[in-house]
A and B are shown apart, each in its own frame.
Chain A
Amino acid sequence: MDFFFHLLINGLSIGLLYGLSAMGFVMIFKSSSVLNFAHGELMAIGAFLFLVLVSWAHVPIPVAFLITLVGSFVIGFAVERVFLRPLIGEHLIFVIMLTVGLASMFKGLLLFIFGGNLYIYPDFLPSSLGITINTLVIPPVYVASSMTGIIFLVLFGLFFKFSSQGIFMRSVADNQTASLSLGVHVRRVFALSWAIAALVAAMSGIVLGIINGTNVHEITSIGLKVFPVVILGGLDSIGGAIIGGIIIGLLETFTAGYISPALRDVIPYIILVFILLIKPYGLFGLVEIERV
């Protein structure tokens, strides 16, 4: 039973992390319907920015955290401005391929600078954050990552529900032309959503780095796992991203624990194919109906 609970806790916290990284992805999709294949690379950029600040420049942790968030906000903004803006209104494949190209650009650059080594952040989370239930120990990292996940979920929920920018984003996602004619600044919405998505990605990259250490290959492969998560939850649902993330995380750890560790990395995609065949718009996604 202990093993079961161990897996449960593990799966939940990994799942929250997946959910967190999927959130940024959904953010971009929701406002600009761009499928961002460079999401894992944005996560890696954030994680390595934090690494440089903390381990090499010895900036105090909270300041480093802030600088990373601001920095990735700017990076996201710049990426949209330079690469994505000329493609507004272009065919889907060009946009997808552009993000694929960006992904391999970023990955090559990160590998050039940092190589394929594993870097570990200095230990900074207070050990009092850890929770002990009988023999079960939940490490502080997991508590911290769950807390950040929940905080960001609430923040984004409120943002989309009540702030004017959030409402603009939803309107753009729903119908670009209509929101243009109603006076929404569509280009600003795109830029903002990329910036916020990069910020969220950087945050999940940092949390990932605290748990597993930062390694370019590792983080970018987790970036690809965003796809099963968002398909399960529904491509345009932020709450769905979190729930999808938790389901995929649990599934992965239980498969690794009870069936075979090798199956761990492929099981999300097998599930993905089945979801696509049975319920393509996910648990909470918006169903598009087309009739001839």
Chain B
Amino acid sequence: MKKLQFHPCGNFKQRYEEELRIFETDFGRLWLIVGALVLFGIVPFVSSPYLLYVINMTGIAAIGAMGLNILIGYTGLISLGHGAFIGVGAYAGAILATRLGFPFWLAIPSAGLITAGVGMIFGLPSGRLKGLYLTIATLAGQIIIEYVLLRWESLTRGTMGITLPTASLLGMELIDDRDFFYVIYVVLVAVTFITVNIMRTRYGRAFIAIRDNDRAAEGMGIPIFPYKLLAFSISSFYAGVAGSLWAYYMISITSEPFSLSLSVEYIAMVIIGGLGSIPGSIFGAVFIIGLNELLRSATDLFMSMPVFRGFGLNLASLREFAFGLAIVLFILFEPKGLAEIWRIIRSNFRLWPFSY
């Protein structure tokens, strides 16, 4: 029998491949299998429909957040337009499905590709700009895309929105939340697998080099502009996939949700989860969607109480406040996000009782 690997007491790595390894110990692999079994075998059968809806939304958000993390966390390009790219993906999926009759399995990746193209267009300014200027360019992208989605009525039907046909995959119709759960989470697992591996290849390392010091990266022979565009297109591809899944799941879409506040929400996910951390993107999505739902049910609870009924509308605005507060507190007290907290907890367990 193979000898199980445990965590060594120090860093005894001798070859580069050991450093690149995804699972440091066999337990990591074991936990992954157990986790996947629980996720796919138990979760969809014990959750209530509402909980399953929340879990599905979290999965979609996690796909989008992972894309944004590639852009912000790994390449260091701050984008305020991710919400609009999700919208482009949603509309691309909806238009492909209704106008051109694309089947579900084809509409999702095509929507991703279209969004990647749009993302590259708005990534063009990154050839000359960096830092603050690029952020402002993506802000402009967000507002322009929002405008186009609302006003290009012959294509997007404006404020009427688009209603999608029922999705079907391999001859089965995806009707209830459980069907979508499997689709969304299979995509999420695939996306995570791809992302982890992109980051181990030369592309991922080039992204990190650009983030850490773009001039030095260029000096070492990394063509910065193509790589920045690549980061933009990968990130928008994920956004497009997330958006089109969202459109199919919601059945009908309008341009309203894809506003600047959605972009801020995604950035919040990435920051709260942990910049430059793949599990962090998932933690962030769980945190933000959870917080959103928690605040929503709290508002509903307050609004049902006779004392607060008069403040109904105003209480909803406290959600925005709590949201901002969460971002501010994380930046001030744990800028590395939930991923760092998770790492600390894990290492405390591992080293217990001699935690130094």
A residues whose Cβ falls under 8 Å from a Cβ of B: 33, 35, 83, 86-87, 90, 92-94, 96-98, 100-109, 111-113, 115-116, 224, 227-228, 231, 235, 262, 265-266, 269-270, 272-273, 276-277, 280, 290, 292
In the complex, the answer to whether A115 meets B141 with C-beta atoms within 8 Å is no
Q: Does B322 contact A272, Cβ atoms closer than 8 Å? A: no
B174 part of interface (Cβ distance < 8 Å)? no
Is B144 in contact with A266, judged by CB distance below 8 angstroms?
yes
B53 to chain A, nearest CB (A): 25
Query: Contacts of A103 on B, CB cut-off 8 Å?
Result: 324
Establish whether residues A227 and B144, one from each chain, have CB atoms under 8 Å apart when the complex forms: no
User: Which residues of the other chain, B, contact A273 by a CB distance below 8 angstroms?
Assistant: 125, 137, 140-141, 144
A108 lies within 8 A of B331 (CB): no
Identify which of A109, A111, A113, A269 contacts B140 (C-beta below 8 A): A269
Cα distance, A90 to B324, chains bound together (Å): 19
State whether A276 and B133 are in contact (beta carbons under 8 Å apart), knowing that A111-B317, A269-B140 are contacts in the complex. Answer: yes
For window 60-81 of B, CB contacts with A under 8 Å fall at 72, 76, 78
Question: CA–CA, A83 to B330, complex, Å?
Answer: 12
Distance in Å from the Cβ of B210 to the closest Cβ of chain A?
A: 13
Q: Which of B133, B317, B322 contacts A280 (CB 8 A)?
A: B133
Partner of B317, one of A87, A100, A112: A112
B143 near A266 with CB under 8 A, answer: yes
**B136–A272 touching, CB < 8 Å:** yes
Q: CB < 8 Å: which of A97, A108, A227, A272 contacts B267?
A: A97
B219 touches A292 (CB 8 A): yes
By DSSP majority rule, is chain B's interface helix, strand, loop, or mixed?
helix
Contact B129 A290 (CB under 8 A): no
List of 3 A-B pairs having minimum Cβ-Cβ separation, nearest first: A108-B321, A101-B327, A105-B324
Q: Would you call B305 an interface residue if the criterion is a C-beta within 8 Å of the partner chain's C-beta atoms? A: no
Q: B78 and A105: CB pair below 8 A?
A: no
9 more contacts with CB within 8 A, not counting A96-B132, A97-B331, A270-B144, are A87-B331, A92-B78, A96-B135, A98-B331, A100-B327, A104-B327, A276-B136, A277-B124, A280-B128
B314 part of interface (Cβ distance < 8 Å): yes
Please tell me which one of the listed residues A100, A116, A224, A270 contacts residue B313 in the complex, with CB atoms under 8 A apart: A116
Q: Are B139 and A105 in contact (CB under 8 A)?
A: no
Known: A93-B78, A273-B140, A277-B125. A104 touches B147 (CB 8 A): no
Instruction: Give min CB distance, A162 to chain B, whole Å.
Output: 29
Report A-chain residues with C-beta under 8 Å of the C-beta of B129: 276, 280
CA of A113 to CA of B151 in the docked complex: distance in angstroms? Answer: 33
Shortest C-beta distance, A126 to chain B (Å), equals 36
As a 0/1 sequence over residues 292 to 332 of chain B, the CB contacts with chain A under 8 angstroms (1 = contact) are 00000000000000000000011101111111111110011
- With A105-B321, A108-B318 known as contacts, the answer to whether A83 contacts B218 (CB < 8 A) is no
Say if the beta carbon of B271 comes within 8 Å of chain A.
yes
Instruction: Tell yes or no: B164 within 8 A of A by CB.
Output: no
Pick the residue among A93, A97, A116, A269 that contacts B144 (CB under 8 A): A269
B215 within 8 A of A: yes
**Given A109-B321, A111-B317, A290-B215: A92 in contact with B132 (beta carbons within 8 A):** yes
Verify A98–B328 contact, CB threshold 8 A.
yes
Taking CB atoms, residues of chain A closer than 8 Å to B331 are 87, 94, 97-98, 101
Choose among B132, B136, B322, B332 the residue that contacts A108 (Cβ–Cβ < 8 A): B322
Give, as a whole number of angstroms, the nearest-CB distance from A258 to chain B. Answer: 18
Whether A101 and B143, one on each chain, are in contact in the complex, defined by CB atoms closer than 8 angstroms, is no
Judge whether A272 and B275 touch: CB under 8 Å: no
B299 vs chain A, min Cβ distance (A): 11
Residue B215 contacts which of A92, A228, A292 (CB distance < 8 angstroms)? A292
Q: Is the CB of A92 within 8 A of B131?
A: yes
Contacting residue for A83 out of B143, B268, B332, CB 8 A: B332
